[in-house]
Structures are given as C-alpha cells and as structure tokens.
Structure 1
Amino acid sequence: MQMKSSLLLISFIFLFHLGYSQNDTTIYYKANQKPALGKEDALAFTKIKKKSENECKFLYFGKKGERWIRSKHTRILTVENDSTIKILNQFTRNEYYKTFKPVGDYFYIKEYHKNGNLRIEGLSKSNIYNHWEGQVKRYFTSGELASISRYKNNQVRGNKNWLKNGKPFIDNIYTNVDVMPQFPGGELELKKYLTANLKYPQEAVEKRFYGDVYVSFVIDEDGSVVGTNISKSLNSDFDQEALRVVSGMPKWTAGKLDGKPVKVCYTVPIKFRMH
C-alpha cells in the first residue's frame, strides 16, 4: 500500500508540474529564454513527450533563418521517487541527477554532475523542466563555482563568472539574444578566416597528430573578441595555436538584447587536419 501511494504521488507531481491536459506538451522561448506564446513568436522550443507515468523525453529545437533545427541532445527524464529525477542525454550518454524540494510556489532544484559534484542549484517554477527565478549557481565538474546568475521569469538579468582556476572572468554574459553577433561577412567568411590563418604545429605534422580544439570567447559590446579560453583541449601546441587565431579575429558586429549591445559568449571548434 505504501509503494502504491508513493507511485501515485510521483505520477501526480510529474503530471501536475508539466501542466498536462494531454500526453505531450511544448514550451516556446524567445531570446534569453523569455517565454513565448507560440511557434510563430519563438526562437526555440522544447517538446516534452510522455513515455510512461514516470518517464518523459525532452526534444530541443532552435531556429536558424527560416528553418527549425533539432538538437542531437535529446534527454530522457525518469522520476525515481518523490524528490529525485534521473536525466540521460541520449547523444553523449551522460547521466546525472536532479533533486527537488517544494519552497512555497517554487521548487529548490539541485542538479549533480556524474561524479557527484553539484552542477546547478536554484529556484524553479517546475520540478521537471527548469524555469528559473532569483539566484542560480552553476559549478564546474570539479566542483568549483562557475557562475552566479540573477533570473526573472526565466530570463537572465545579470551574472558573475569565474574560470576553473577560481579567477574572476567577464560578468554579465549572455548566450541567446535578440540579434546575435556576426563575424564580418557572416559565417562563411569566419570559416575562411580560420582556414587561412591556422598554422599546423610542426611537431604535430611530424607525428601526424590531428583533432579539434574548442575555444570559448566573448563578443564585447563594441564587437571586440575578449576572454578567449580553451573549453576542450587537444594538446598544448594545438591549444596555443587555436587561441592565437581566435584572439586575432577582427571586430564582430555586437549582439543586442532589448535593443542594447550586450556581451555574448561563443564556442567554436578549431579543426586541425592534414591534407
């Protein structure tokens, strides 16, 4: 009888906080994760498909030009008990957990990295999908604090950021804005710039090394490229060359949110290939 009651509670929490009137639901977003009324008004949307009483699938879509592109990072959420949800990224096979605790009209959410370290924590209007309100903290896999953000109705209103070594980074960075920054001439010209300026490290040529380095950077309010750092390393020679090329990029057209220039974070793969 106790087990049956627990299952009913789990089912109730699951269905109620998704706002289900049927099996599936879709959540639409404008720039900066601002809730949108429908697809015609949105830049992204999340489709939540119910698989069973305690399991659902999250499908993510983003708009590129006039096309909707589906993300590879489909997630499966499984409600394990009345305070814990297991999350599986089907693309990376990364599995992690979130816990939730009712706090007034909200839930206090804690998500954990696979190694058990805290990943993110803060207040959300839903225990199933994250709709943030107030202060939200994010952490690196190693456990160090990565950022403290302020949210209002799921929209970022400001943030403080740190590097993995604990040093302060650039504050008030956005990832999704009304007008995204643009390299002079567009995406094709960016690819041409990277190809033309990238120099293959001599030692790597001799040893026939190849691979990708991921470089993160910020486009400042005036279009300058600042805050370059390695988000996925290959080796020191490749890393330094990737940083050199990205740091030397010309000014971009700055991104805008609510009509004002803002700092926007980017990550690009720098591909080292021998031809």
Structure 2
Amino acid sequence: MKNLYLSLIFTAISFSTFAQNTIYMDSKYKELDTKEGAKYFKIITPAPDKDYEFLRTTYFIDGTKKAEQSYDLKGEKKVFEGVHKHFYESGELFYQLPYKNGKKHGNLLAYWKNGEKRRDDTFKRGKLKEGKVWNEGGEKIEYFEYLIPAKFPGGQDKLFSFLKENINIPQEQERGTSVKVILKFTINPAGDLSEIQIVEGAPHRYNAEAVRVLTIMPRWNPTKRFGEPIATRYALPIIFRK
C-alpha cells in the first residue's frame, strides 16, 4: 500500500511538472532554449479526463492567449481532436475549428475583431460541404475557401513546364536514369522564395542546379488564410531525367 501511495504521488508530480513546462518559440514557431528572442510560448497539459490526451496552449510573449489545440498521440504523430481556438493578439476570438480523428469535422466559425461573424464553413470528415463569408460590416460577400495553398503562377502544368525548360541535366548522367532532389523553401506573403533547404540530396552538381532553378523562379501566388497572404513552407521534388 505504501509503495502504491508513493507511486501515485510520483505520477501526480510528474504530470504537474509536465503541465508547467514552458517552451519558448520565435516568430516562426521554432523552439528556443531561453526566453530571449521569443515571440510566443506554449504549455502542454495532460488531459486524461477529457476526450483528448493533451492540450497545447500557445501564448503571445506578453501572456495573451493565442491558441488552444487539443490532440491525441499515436506513436509520435499528433492527431487533432476537439475544438481548436485561435485568438487575435488583442485577445478577441479569431476562429474555432472542430476536429475528429485528425480531420476537420463540424463548423469553422471565424469572427472579425469587432465581434461580427467573418465566416461559417461546414466540414464533414475533412471535406468542405458548404460555407458563408461576411465582411467586417456584417454584409455577406462572395465565398472563398478559408485556406488557399500557395501555387506557381499558372498551376502545376506551368510549374512542370518551367522546370523542364530551365533545368540543366549534368552531361555525365546516363541515359534512362533519373536523379531526385527534394527541397523545402519559404514562400513569403509577396510570393518570393527564400530559406531554401535540401532535405533529400544527390551529388553536388544536382543539388546546386536544383537550388539555382528555384532562385530564378517567378513569384508564386502565396498561401492565403482568411483571404490574407501569409508565409508558408513548401516542399518540391525536382527530378533530373535523361
């Protein structure tokens, strides 16, 4: 009985310590070792009595709540569950979005800072069924999706044509072979590419050529969230085929 009692105390202390663990992050949500240079911080709290396992609460550095996101852990993968809430820096509710088994399921409700409803989208098992959008004055406007991914001007076909026309394949590559390089990069709100990173490389000449081609690309159409351009990371495989 004594050992069980001590075990329960240890478990309670462990959960309490975990719940109070503060993780600082920069403007791109990269985790930092100290508070210096941080724009946000987050606290992850175990929630064994809820319909989800963990609650991640993110704050602006001044302590104003930025987001509440609940999830289960399946191995190392986070599976979103429950209603996620996001807030303006001034504290008002920005939007809330329900999840079930990792998929959007229910109504996404968004609001302007003045409290007027901004949009109401209905999702079922991750698929959009219907939606409505209003301007800041409360007037209904033409519908557009709340999240529009970044796109090369003209779409995928134009992107493939651009790569085909501009990639220089090393002369030593044998016919009938292919070499793949995968890159990640940031598309900023203006559509410019930066922070190019090779995540799956090949011999140096291929890596250098893949990076060169990215640097001469035209501006992309940036990702839009709630109609406003934002910076996002994008992964692109480039295949050298001879």
Greater C-alpha radius of gyration: 2
Q: TM-score range by the shorter chain?
A: 0.3 to 0.5
TM-score (norm 1): 0.38
Q: TM-score normalized by structure 2?
A: 0.43
